[in-house]
Amino acid sequence: MSTLKGKVAVITGGNSGIGYSTAKKLKEEGATVIITGRSREKVNLAAKELDVIGIIADVSDLSAMDAAVNQVKNEFERIDILFVNAGVFIPMPVGQNSEEGFDTLMNINFKGAVFTIEKFLPILNDGGSIINLSSINAYTGMPNTAVYGATKAALNSYTRAAATELAPRNIRVNAVNPGPIATPIFSKTGMSEEQLKGMGDMMQNRIPLKRYGKPEEIAEMVAFLVSEKASFITGSEFNVDGGLNVNPIFAI
């Protein structure tokens, strides 16, 4: 397949999980792929495995993002696809939210996403595509996700307004809302194995398809949305969640 032949794609947080799988998919579709991430070791390893370009940049550090944009501009001049994928998940119950956790979630999931777009927009070709990785937690009211869900709800609101404002340039902006996906993001929360298993069992029991999603399944949706097959789609959100959003009952 070569639906993206000649296109240049940037994927933030591309060294693992959904970002990694999407980098692999877009490359298979013919795109030149650039991944970014915070860990030099992980980005370099992923870039080597995928045979793509790796750039070290923390999306919450605006000067680092400026440097990343300059590097991409110097090497490629322009890009066609921007997958705003970098994000973190920190579970915090209401009444026990910490300022540090709040700031980390907001700085990476929302501020980082917004300014990733702001920084790359000057080198994004007219007719390009932006995909924001959000979450069904923007809507579910799942316990311990009040702040995390708020960052994703804010990102979805931004997506809709950005789609309207960028339409004159024929730049399409969409959001993908995954349900529970089998990625390393949960293991980075600091939760114990027992807590992770309990949360995993609870969520899986609520999913009509009775399983977690795969990163590759999100990658397929992203690849579709950035292709010409989705040329009349903008300002939209796509739930890829095994039906969880139609069965949003969570035990506390």
Which residues are tagged catalytic?
148
DSSP 111: I
Q: Beta-carbon neighbour count of residue 166 at 10 Å?
A: 20
> 146-166 vs 112-120: helix axis angle to the nearest 10?
20
Strand, coil or helix: what is 49?
A: helix
> 215-225 vs 17-28: helix axis angle to the nearest 10?
50
Place of tokens 């899986």: 204
- Pairing state between β 8-12 and 124-133: unpaired
- At 47, which amino acid appears? A
Euclidean distance between the first and final Cα of the chain, in Å? 46
What are phi and psi for residue 75, nearest 5 degrees?
-90, -35
DSSP 158: H
What are phi and psi for residue 86, nearest 5 degrees?
-60, 135
Q: Exposure string (b/e) for 70-93, b if CB count within 10 Å is 16 or more?
A: ebbeeeeeebbbbbbbbbbbbbbe
**Whole-angstrom Cα distance, residue 186 to residue 100?**
18
What are phi and psi for residue 11, nearest 5 degrees?
-125, 115
